[in-house]
Amino acid sequence: MLPHPLDQTPDRTLVMGILNVTPDSFSDGGAHDTVETAIAHGRRLLAEGADVIDVGGESTRPGAHAVSPEEEQARILPVVEALLAEGAVVSVDTMHTATARAALEVGPVIVNDVSGLVHEPDMPALIAQTGAPYVVMHNRGNPQTMDALTDYRDTVEDVVRELQEVVDRFLAAGAAPEQLILDPGLGFAKAGEQNWELLRGLDRMQALGFPVLVAASRKRFLGTLLAGPDGADPAPAERDHATAAVSAISAAHGAWGVRVHDVRASADAVRVGSAWRGASAGAPGGGAA
């Protein structure tokens, strides 16, 4: 098995910086779509306080077009190799088993798979064989269909149940429980208020016994919240203050990590949230937030 990339982590919520090596991300597509600009941005994210750099070569926004594993690998593998060589902790944002395998051959990485309930059939065996940390994200459908798959009887309980089903598949394949990280999949097959329900229900997800990653950065439900008097949503980059607020609250509730575009703001925010959580746990008559 490969060395675990998170054998030593800070005693606080981690900040995962987003590095999109794509021309069509909803937020910053094209800004870092060459190897050189992507590596440079990865270094900036590290300097701003990122604990993990999440490198992705395929947009997963609603309506995004699929990218072949070969093209995805050509985009991200040189970036992954360069950042690992500089000592960074790297995660690879991919739905493709072939890309995850290729990245793990470069070095120890976290596999961050947004495919949710319909992951590729060989992915559990790969994760079990390599011992790689794996983010189990809740999702239904694919970028073309997920916006039509938002019918839940009880959003939190349904997401928790469906995540547990995916977890069980990986455990049955031989993955160890300590490899798995849960992500409620904000914005993926979720509409408006359902995202807030999941954030309010983080403790229910944490009750499954796995670390939880919160990935709210710049997402549409934050834009809806911040809409001006004319009803227009602010541009994605104008949602960073709201993202940092979610980061602080997530840290106060014990989230394992937050995945964000603006690392500097969330690096401060998680320290505030973690300090708040620590103070609450130590207060007379208080409990963990």
Strand order in the sheet with 134-137: 180-183, 134-137, 110-113, 90-93, 52-56, 14-20, 257-260, 213-214
Burial 229-242 (b: 16+ CB within 10 A, else e): eeeebbebeebbeb
Q: Residue 284 above 60 pLDDT?
A: no
pLDDT of residue 285: 41
Q: Residue 67 above 90 pLDDT?
A: no
pLDDT of residue 31: 62
Task: Report the C-alpha gap between 277 and 131 in whole angstroms.
Answer: 31
pLDDT of residue 66: 79
pLDDT of residue 142: 85
Task: Let me know: does 130 contact 104? Beta carbons within 8 Å.
Answer: yes
Cβ neighbourhood burial of 184 (10 Å; 0-12, 13-18, 19+): buried
Task: Report the C-alpha gap between 205 and 210 in whole angstroms.
Answer: 8
Q: Residue 25 above 60 pLDDT?
A: no
pTM, 2 dp: 0.91
Q: What are phi and psi of 168, to 5 degrees?
A: -60, -35
Task: Let me know: does 273 contact 252? Beta carbons within 8 Å.
Answer: yes
pLDDT tens-digit map of 83-114:
999 999 999 999 999 999 999 999 999 999 99
pLDDT of residue 287: 42
pLDDT tens-digit map of 203-250:
999 999 999 999 999 999 999 999 999 999 999 999 999 999 999 999
Q: Residue 283 above 60 pLDDT?
A: no
Residues carrying an active site annotation: 219, 259
Task: Let me know: does 155 contact 202? Beta carbons within 8 Å.
Answer: no
With a pLDDT cut of 90, the percent of the chain lying above it is 80
pLDDT of residue 288: 37
pLDDT of residue 10: 76
Neighbours of 165 (CB within 10 A): 10
Q: Residue 6 above 50 pLDDT?
A: yes
Top-confidence range, 41-50, 60-69, 138-147: 41-50
